[in-house]
Amino acid sequence: MITNMDKSNADKDSYSRKLTDSERERMDKLREQYENEGRFPEGKVAVVDKEEDAKEGQITFVTTTRTYVIPEKEMTDEQILQIIDYGYKEDYSLRQERRETEENYDGVVSDEQVAENEEKIKSSNGMSKEAAKELAAKYIKNIYDIDVSEYDVDVNANYDSSYEVHFQKDNSIIVNIDAVNKQLEYIHIDEYEVENNNEKADENLFTNYADTVKEIIINKANLAETDSKYHYEYTLTEDGKVQAGIMSYYFEKSNGKVVQIRVNCKEQKIIDVAIYTEKQIVTK
């Protein structure tokens, strides 16, 4: 489910027309079959930037409005499955891309490659390891209000001219810092990660916590502008609960990048923050 919290042109329910009761009922059942029985679509959703480019006769996702263009007649099970599949793959690909970064130096990358990565950063006038560690600690303090001065710290240079800073103590915090532009790319804390813990949907909770998210992301961490357009997303289970107890906020920055914040609904805590280009958000 997608709910907009700005004055953009995006349709509130994210479809080009209102779903019928039958479509909603079948979507709940098909989502359960998708998750538990491995029932997948044969085709896939088309992705375009403008609604006028929507593919005739094909379910199409419009990136600029985050709207599914669907046929006027009632959708088939196949078409509904395509929408379900696209939503899951979109969320998975964003999370997996960042999780893979966390594992880059788990005995896989050689010392020679690390040294080469560090030299690449140095030749680009990038920041030092120590500066990256200090900046990462600042983001952790601003976003999570955690002092990591007593944490064990490991800093490694990535192939893409970023530093992966790993803080370890009672919990584990991963921070990726763009060494050239000297800014946050990604931050994740394992303490608030939720697995298979569905939470009752509560619109008041979502909208009220949005103010807290804005305060942290805009004023404390300085990751988005005060006039950034934003919305939140979550997926409902058949019994009306938020799947995995996780929801996501998206802030659209003026430079074309998007800040994604995943939140633990039960704890009302930020799990992670990632900054993407719009292309990364919609390209699968």
Together in a domain, 91 and 198: yes
Whether 162 contacts 176, CB under 8 Å: yes
Whether 75 contacts 132, CB under 8 Å: no
Together in a domain, 98 and 239: yes
Domain count, the chain: 2
Together in a domain, 157 and 241: no
Together in a domain, 262 and 222: yes
Whether the predicted model's global pTM rises above the 0.75 cut: no
Residue linked to tokens 């990048």: 257
Together in a domain, 233 and 274: yes
Q: Which of 129, 164, 188 lies at the terminal end of a domain, its last residue? A: 188
Half-sphere exposure of 1 (CA within 13 A, CB side): 19
**Residue type at 41 in one-letter notation:** P
Q: Which of 171, 188, 205 lies at the terminal end of a domain, its last residue? A: 188
Residue 27's SS3 state is helix
Q: Are strands 46-48 and 60-62 parallel, antiparallel or unpaired?
A: parallel
Digitized pLDDT (tens) for each residue of the chain, 284 residues in all? 333 333 233 333 478 888 899 998 999 899 888 777 778 888 889 888 888 888 788 899 888 788 889 999 999 999 999 998 888 776 655 555 555 554 444 445 566 777 787 888 888 888 999 999 999 999 999 999 999 999 999 998 887 888 899 999 988 999 999 998 899 999 999 888 776 577 777 777 777 788 889 999 999 999 998 888 888 887 777 777 787 788 888 998 888 889 999 998 888 899 999 998 654 444 33
**Phi, psi of 185, deg, nearest 5:** -110, -40
Q: Which domain holds residue 130?
A: 111-188
